[in-house]
Amino acid sequence: MATSSDFIQFACDQIAAIGDASYKKMFGEYMIYHNGRAIFLVCDDTVYVKQLPEVAAIFAAYGITPDLGTPYKGAKPHYILDIENADLAIDMARKLGQILPPPKPKIKKRPEKQ
């Protein structure tokens, strides 16, 4: 089951307070971005977050022990984020937008010499 367009829009609406949030369809599913950084992976109408110490601390601050899941076959386990908890989702998005590395610049290919 793929993520519905309604769900991805709902997920972005939940974190709209952070400002610069967008999403891109990737490999049949979606990635949500903040400040150009990939913060949430969305697969099968479920929001996944990388297992990082800072992420675990945010869950702990809310008194939540997050479930783990794999977004796709062969993926490392990720935390599952309850996107309906808007306060948690906003705090998580803000923190990830600060700590995750910026995207690597794309290297332009040089034309082949003949």
pLDDT digits 0-9 by tens, 26-82: 877 999 998 889 999 999 999 999 999 999 999 999 999 999 999 989 999 999 999
pLDDT attached to residue 71: 92
44 Cβ contact partners less than 8 Å away, ≥ 6 residues apart: 1, 2, 3, 29, 71
Beta bridge partners of 80: 48
Residue 1: pLDDT band (50, 70, 90) is low
The CATH number corresponding to 5-99 among 3.90.1510.10, 3.40.1160.10, 3.30.1460.30, 3.30.420.10 equals: 3.30.1460.30
